[in-house]
């Protein structure tokens, strides 16, 4: 019986570390000014979110989301002992694509030097913070159906270029960081129901669509970009907007239910599972999920303190970070639960 398994994992974060203290001095170009640009502080950010620092790409006007994805993809391919030529499908999850279209997967394919007439399939998916688990469900289904044999699943985000570096945008700006993670998912012939990817489940509730969004343009508008992007009175549309409290409550509720459902449907208990890897949006969200879903605290992996919220990248980045630290070992069983804009959410149980 065909089953999907994770053959390799990789991640990448840019070198530049931006602490909470430094953040409030940064201008639109991420350059440090002498005077405070955003009324925020380390104490507020740590207490409300758990974040201590995040990573930003150099603001040289050249780095794109697919560049971050490339670095993570190369690491995952090396970990799997494969090259890009072995891949027959790319799934790229991001909310910060290089340009509006085409999607970032084709740019990544070119950067991996496997484009051309024999180029593999390339999908972009748009499930924001849930992108990696949605992508894993797709990859699992493709592999089980025999459609593709080796899939490169990438979650990458370049947030720092589209944040509002001012007191107006502080509720969102302080949360996000740049980074990427990737997995190579391949086919194996196995009858063992506890091997590879054991379980995926994804859901969405479109009634929350406008509680966390970034418009930039509206295609129903004529012209579809009508504002002066440099005019601060009218350019809020080019920055993400969030109804923070509503997102927070929905995240906790749906992540708890989704996690409990994953255990119920597989018949597994926390004794079977090595690690819980929740999406990294806010440490307080994760602490509440752990409490309400009665998850053993010693099995919870977080990285938000170091990287902030990297949306589609948080799950592979967190696993890879803890793998490099020696915490996560080959063959460990992971239950991951995510929640994000849409609203979208889901869980997966898989061996790394």
In the residue annotation, 309 being an active-site residue is answered as yes
Closest distance to ligand UT7 from the beta carbon of 41 (Å): 6
Position 11 contacts ligand UT7 (CB under 6 A): no
Which two tokens mark 183?
Answer: 């997995």
CB 98 within 8 A of CB 135: no
Position 171 contacts ligand UT7 (CB under 6 A): yes
Position 248 contacts ligand UT7 (CB under 6 A): yes
The helix (run of H) or strand (run of E) holding residue 121 is: strand 121-125
Position 346 contacts ligand UT7 (CB under 6 A): no
Closest distance to ligand UT7 from the beta carbon of 246 (Å): 8
Position 340 contacts ligand UT7 (CB under 6 A): yes
In the residue annotation, 100 being an active-site residue is answered as no
Which residues make beta-bridge pairs with 26?
Answer: 32
Omega cis (within 30) before 223: yes
In the residue annotation, 221 being an active-site residue is answered as no
The SS3 of residue 163 is coil
Among 89, 309, 321, 322, the active-site one is 309
Residue nearest to ligand UT7 (CB): 244
First-residue to last-residue Cα distance in the chain: 20
Report the relative pairing of strands 16-19 and 53-56 from DSSP bridges. Answer: antiparallel
Task: Tell me how many residues contact ligand UT7 (CB under 6 A).
Answer: 20
Window 172-201: residues binding ligand UT7 (CB under 6 A): 174
> 142 vs 339, which CB is nearer to ligand UT7?
339
Window 253-292: residues binding ligand UT7 (CB under 6 A): 281-282, 285
**Alpha-carbon distances, residue 262 vs 84, 197, 206, 291, 318 (angstroms):** 33, 12, 22, 17, 20
The Cα 204–Cα 213 span in angstroms is 15
Position 26 contacts ligand UT7 (CB under 6 A): no
Q: Which residues are catalytic?
A: 129, 279, 309
| Contact set with ligand UT7 (CB under 6 A) | 40, 44-45, 48-49, 129, 170-171, 174, 212, 244-245, 247-248, 251, 281-282, 285, 309, 340
């Amino acid at each position: 019986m065909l089953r999907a398994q994770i053959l390799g994992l990789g991640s990448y974060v840019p070198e530049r570390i931006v602490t909470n203290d430094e953040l409030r001095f940064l201008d639109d170009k991420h350059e440090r000014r002498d005077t405070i640009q955003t009324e925020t502080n380390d104490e507020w950010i740590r207490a409300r979110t758990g974040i201590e620092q995040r990573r930003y790409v150099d603001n040289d006007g050249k780095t794109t989301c697919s560049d971050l994805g490339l670095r993570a993809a190369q690491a995952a391919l090396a970990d799997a002992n494969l090259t890009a030529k072995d891949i027959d499908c790319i799934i790229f999850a991001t909310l910060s694509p290089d340009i509006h279209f085409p999607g970032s997967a084709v740019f990544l394919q070119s950067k991996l030097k496997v484009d051309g007439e024999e180029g593999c399939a390339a999908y972009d998916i748009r499930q924001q913070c849930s992108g990696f688990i949605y992508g894993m469900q797709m990859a699992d289904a493709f592999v089980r159906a025999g459609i593709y044999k080796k899939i490169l699943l990438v979650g990458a985000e370049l947030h720092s270029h589209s944040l509002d570096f001012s007191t107006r945008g502080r509720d969102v700006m302080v949360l996000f960081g740049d980074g990427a993670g990737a997995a190579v998912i391949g086919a194996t012939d196995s009858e063992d129901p506890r091997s590879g990817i054991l379980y995926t489940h994804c859901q969405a509730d479109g009634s929350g669509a406008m509680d966390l969004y970034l418009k930039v343009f509206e295609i129903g508008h004529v012209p579809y970009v009508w504002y002066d992007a440099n005019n601060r009175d009218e350019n809020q549309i080019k920055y993400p907007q969030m109804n923070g409290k509503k997102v927070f409550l929905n995240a906790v509720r749906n992540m708890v239910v989704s996690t409990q459902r994953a255990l119920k449907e597989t018949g597994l208990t926390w004794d079977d599972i090595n690690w819980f890897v929740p999406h990294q949006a806010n440490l307080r969200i994760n602490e509440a999920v752990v409490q309400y879903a009665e998850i053993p605290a010693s099995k919870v992996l977080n990285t938000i303190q170091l990287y902030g919220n990297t949306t589609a990248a948080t799950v592979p980045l967190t696993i890879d970070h803890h793998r490099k630290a020696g915490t996560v070992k080959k063959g460990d069983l992971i239950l991951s639960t995510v929640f994000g804009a849409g609203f979208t959410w889901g869980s997966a149980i898989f061996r790394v």
